[in-house]
Amino acid sequence: LEMFPYPSAYGLHMGHSRNYTMGDVIARYKRMQGFDVLYPMGYDAFGLPAENAAIKNKTHPKTYTDNAIASISKQQRELGSSYDWERMVVTCRPEYYKWNQWFFIQFYKRGLAYRKEAPINWCPKCATVLANEQVKDGKCWRCDSVVEPKNLEQWFLKITEYADVLLEGLSELQGWPEKIRIMQENWIGKSTGVDIHFKLEEHGKPGMVLPAFTTRCDTIFSVTFLAIAPEHPLIETLVKGSEHAQGAKEFCARMKRQSIIDRTNEEKEKEGFFTGRHAINPVNNERIPIYIANFAVMYGSGIVMCDAHDKRDFRFARKYDIPLKFVISPTGEPTDTKNHHDALTDDGILFGSGTFSGISNRDALPLMAEWLEKEGLGKRTYNYKIRDWLISRQRYWGTPIPMVYCDACGVVPVPEADLPVLLPEDVQFTGEGNPLKTSEAFVNTECPKCKAPARRETDTMDTFMDSSWYFLRYPSPNTMGEPFDSDIVNRALPVDQYIGGAEHAVMHLLYARFFTRVLHDMGLVKVKEPFTHLFNQGMVTKDGNKMSKSYGNVVAQDEIAQNYGIDTARLFLMFVSSPESELEWSDEGIQCAYRFLNKVYGLVEALETRQPKSDSRDALLESKRNVCIRDTTAHLDTFRLNKAVMSVMEFANTIIKYQDDVSPGQYRSCLDTLARLLLPFTPHIAEEMWARLGNETFLSLDAWPAADASRMDARAEAAAEFVEETISGVRRTLSAKKIDSPNRIELFMAESWKYDFVPAFKRLFATVKNPKEIADRLVKEVASADPAAITQLTFAVYKNMKLLPVVDMSRDDELPLLHEVIARLKDEFGCDVILTVDATSSSDSRAKNGLPGKPAISVV
C-alpha cells in the first residue's frame, strides 16, 4: 500500500511514478508467489489547494477535484499499476466523510474530542484565518497584510491521552525505519522531571505558584531568572496596568510570528522582554526576574527556570545583564561566572547547593527531586512534548464537524441517524472569511435535543483526519451501515507493506497509529498497529533540486511514455538507485534502459529464426538462470529493488552474449524465466514476451519461478568468468601500454606447482592464520617448487586473497578455455596470439607471474 495521494491537477511526474512503481513491483511479485494481495488506491481529496483553485478560477472545489482524480487515475492505469480499482476510496465523497463525522462523535463521547481556545493566524484585510503554509514571512500570501495572532475556540482530539501507549508501541514496529521510530519518540517527548513551585512576588510576599518543569533540578540553586512563553495566558495578568503592558503586548505579537523551529534553534538570536515582575526561588528565597522569552514555548507549564549551566540561558542573561552564578564545577570548588564567557555544561561536583554540596550533580538529581517533593517545593512528574491534535480548519473543502450550538443546551452532537452533515453548495468563494458561514441554510438549524433554533459548527476537519483511517476502508469499501466491515478488516490488517515519505513521520503516521489504537479500544479492530513494515522512498531530483513544478524541472510521465514506453520509465526508476536514496534524473539513463529492453525483446523475436552453432553454454545458462532466480527473489524480499533489476539485467546480458551456443530448449527456458523475472518491473513487455513464447494465459497470473540449487554449476560459471576475465585482462594491458593494434599477444599458463599450491593454501588458511607457518608447511607439501618462490607467493596471497580463484581448476581444465580465449582474441585484434604452456621455458620476465585462473599476459 502506498500512501494515497492528493489529486493534483498537474498530473504525475517521475517522482510520483517512482513511488507507485515500487508498490506495484511488490504487489505483482507477491501475487506470483501465490499470496492473496490486497492492493488498492484512493485519493486524499479534501484540502486547501482545491479551495485556492476555486477562488482563483471561480469554480467549485469539487469540480477541480473530480477533474484531477480523473486525470491522475488515468495516468496510474497507464503506468501499469495493478490496483484493485473497485476498492477506490475518495475522501471528499459523502459516503466516506460521513464516517469521519461518526468517528468524531465517538471520540467526543469517550472524552477524546473537546473544544478550547487556541491561537490562529488572522489576516485582518481578508478577514479570514490562514493556514501556516499561507503565511509568508509573517504576511498573508494573498494580500501581503501583516498576519495577527488571535485566539479562537477550536476542536481538538486528545492524542495526549495515548502518549504512553504510542510511545510503548514503537518497540513493536521493528519493520519500520529506525529514524522514523526515533522521530516519533522525540515528538512524543516523554521526560521525567520535577515541577518546581516558584512563587510570584505580590506586594513583597510570595503569592501564586508558578510551576516550572525541569529535568535538571540539580541546577535549582543556580537559577537567577524565569522565562515565560509569549503565548502564556498569564502574561496579561503579570503586566496589567503597568508601564510594561504595551511593550509586552507588542513583543508577544512579534514573537508569535516567529516559527517555533526558529525560536528554539540554538543558533538563532534569543530575544526577551522584562515583565517588571519577580518570582521567589523556593530553595533559597532569592528574588529573580521574570522575562518573556522567544525560546520559551508552551511545553509543560510554559515557564522555564534559567541558570548558568545552560548555554542558551547563559547567553540570554549576558545580553540582558541578568546576574548569573555557577553551582557545578569539576572539583566542587566555587567558580565565579565573571571568569567565564559561556555556560559550564559538563557534569561535576555541586557547590553552593545547601546540603547537596560536595555531591556529584548526577548522583544528586534523584535525591534533590525527592527532597523538593518532600518539602512541598515541587512535584516529581512526567512531561510530554506532544500536544493534542487541533483538527479545526476555517475552510470549506473538508469534512464538516458534526456539532450544533444551542443557547439552551450548549454543544450538542448531530444525531448519528442524521449523518452525514453535507457540505452546502451555496457557498461563496471570495477568499474572505469562513466560507461555510456564507451559507445561511447550512448554519441555521435546530437543536437535536430541544428543537430550538441553533447554529451549526462552521469549521471543517483537518485533512489528516481523512488519512488516519482510509486503509481500513479498502477491504470493504462499499459497506454502508458502518465505516468498515470489522470481520473483513480483521482478516486483512495490518498492512504488510506501507510505502511513503519520511516527511509524514510525526503527523500522518502518528495520527494513523493513534486512530488505530482508539478503534482497537472501541472493539472495532483487533490490531493495535496499522502498518507492519514501512518503507520511505527517496525523492527524484533533477538539476540538483527536488522534481517539482515550482522548480520548473518536472519530467512528466506522459512525455516519457510517449517517447520510450512506460516500461522504460519503470525499469529506469527501479534500477538507477536504491529505493530509499535520492534518484537524479538522467536522460542518458532512460535511453540506456530503452536500449536494454529493445535487446531483450529482440531475443524473443529471434526465437523462431535463430540457428545456434552449439549447445556448449547450456550448463552455464542453466546455472545463471537459477542463480538469477535465487538472487532476484532475495533482493525483492528485502526491498533491494535496484539490485533485483541488476540481477535480471545481468542474466539477460548473459543470454545475449551466449545465444549462439545455447540449445533451443535451454534458450526457451531462459526466456521463460526472464519474462517472469521482468514481470514485476516491466509488465507490458513481459506479457508480450510471454505471448510470443506461445502462452495463451496472462503471465501476471502465473507462478514466480523457483531456484534449483542442484542446477547451479559453479564450475561452468567459473569457466565462463575465466574466459571473460582473461580477455578483459588483455584489453586492460593494451590500454595501459596505449597499444591500439597489437602485433602479438602471448599468454602464459601458471607453473604446474601453483595448481597444487592453491588448494593447499586454502586448506591451511582455514585453520592457520600465521603466514610464516603456512609458508613453512607449504614448502613441505609442494615439494616440486623452489621454497623461496612458495614463501613469496604465500605472503602475496595472504595480503591479497583476491589472487586466489574462487573455484579451483586444473591445468587440464584451463587449457581448452585458453584455446577459446585465443580464438576470440584473434577475431578481435587480428594478430598472432600465442599460448605458452610451460612458463619456465620462456625468457619473458612476465612469464612466471601467471597464477591458476590468471594467466600472465605479454603484448607487443
User: How high is the pLDDT of residue 565?
Assistant: 94
Pairing type for strands 113-123 and 148-157 reads antiparallel
Instruction: Please count the CA atoms within 13 angstroms of the CA of 656 that sit on its side-chain side.
Output: 13
How many residues are present in the chain? 860
- What is the rounded end-to-end Cα distance, in angstroms, of the chain? 61
What CA–CA distance (Å, rounded) separates 607 from 694? 11
CB-based contacts of 181, cutoff 8 Å, min separation 6: 170, 173
Q: Is the pLDDT of residue 263 over 90?
A: no
Residue 470, C-alpha cell as written in the block: 482510509
pLDDT in tens, 561-589: 999 999 999 999 999 888 898 888 888 99
User: How high is the pLDDT of residue 54?
Assistant: 79
Please state which of the ranges 120-134, 163-177, 646-660, 761-775 shows the lowest mean pLDDT: 120-134
- Average of per-residue pLDDT across 733-747: 94
What CA–CA distance (Å, rounded) separates 98 from 418? 10
Q: Are 275 and 244 in contact (CB under 8 A)?
A: yes
What CA–CA distance (Å, rounded) separates 309 from 312? 9
Kindly indicate the confidence band of residue 394, based on its pLDDT and cuts at 50, 70 and 90.
confident
**516 — phi, psi (to 5°)?**
-65, -40
**Would you give the DSSP letter of residue 400?**
B
- Average of per-residue pLDDT across 352-374: 97
Residue 838, C-alpha cell as written in the block: 610451460
Burial 752-766 (b: 16+ CB within 10 A, else e): bebbbbbeebeebbe
Q: Is the pLDDT of residue 129 over 70?
A: yes
Q: Are 342 and 174 in contact (CB under 8 A)?
A: no
> Does 14-163+392-535 match 191-383 in CATH topology?
no
Residue 265, C-alpha cell as written in the block: 534553534
Residue percentage of the chain with pLDDT more than 70 = 99
pLDDT in tens, 159-215: 999 999 999 999 999 999 999 999 999 999 999 999 999 999 998 888 999 999 999
What CA–CA distance (Å, rounded) separates 466 from 468? 6
User: How high is the pLDDT of residue 403?
Assistant: 98
Q: Which CATH homologous superfamily contains domain 191-383? A: Valyl/Leucyl/Isoleucyl-tRNA synthetase, editing domain (3.90.740.10)
Q: Is the pLDDT of residue 840 over 80?
A: yes
Residue percentage of the chain with pLDDT more than 90 = 77
* Mean pLDDT score of the chain: 93
Which residues lie across from 72 on neighbouring strands? none
Q: Is the pLDDT of residue 683 over 80?
A: yes
User: How high is the pLDDT of residue 401?
Assistant: 98
The residue written with cell numbers 517539482 in the block is 548
What CA–CA distance (Å, rounded) separates 648 from 600? 11
Q: Is the pLDDT of residue 28 over 90?
A: yes
Kindly indicate the confidence band of residue 798, based on its pLDDT and cuts at 50, 70 and 90.
very high
Kindly indicate the confidence band of residue 132, based on its pLDDT and cuts at 50, 70 and 90.
low
User: How high is the pLDDT of residue 845?
Assistant: 87
In this prediction the pTM is 0.84
User: How high is the pLDDT of residue 133?
Assistant: 56
Please state which of the ranges 509-513, 667-671, 847-851 shows the lowest mean pLDDT: 847-851
User: How high is the pLDDT of residue 134?
Assistant: 65
CA 87 and chain centroid, separation: 26
What CA–CA distance (Å, rounded) separates 413 from 748? 91
Kindly indicate the confidence band of residue 234, based on its pLDDT and cuts at 50, 70 and 90.
very high
Instruction: Please count the CA atoms within 13 angstroms of the CA of 191 that sit on its side-chain side.
Output: 17
The secondary structure element, H or E, covering residue 198 is strand 191-202
Q: Is the pLDDT of residue 451 over 60?
A: yes
CB-based contacts of 679, cutoff 8 Å, min separation 6: 28, 32, 686, 687, 699, 700
14-163+392-535 adopts what CATH topology?
Rossmann fold (3.40.50)
User: How high is the pLDDT of residue 792?
Assistant: 93
User: Where are the chain's structural domains?
Assistant: 14-163+392-535, 191-383, 541-712, 724-859
Q: Is the pLDDT of residue 469 over 70?
A: yes
**755 — phi, psi (to 5°)?**
-75, -25
For the domain spanning 541-712, the CATH number is 1.10.730.10
User: How high is the pLDDT of residue 747?
Assistant: 95
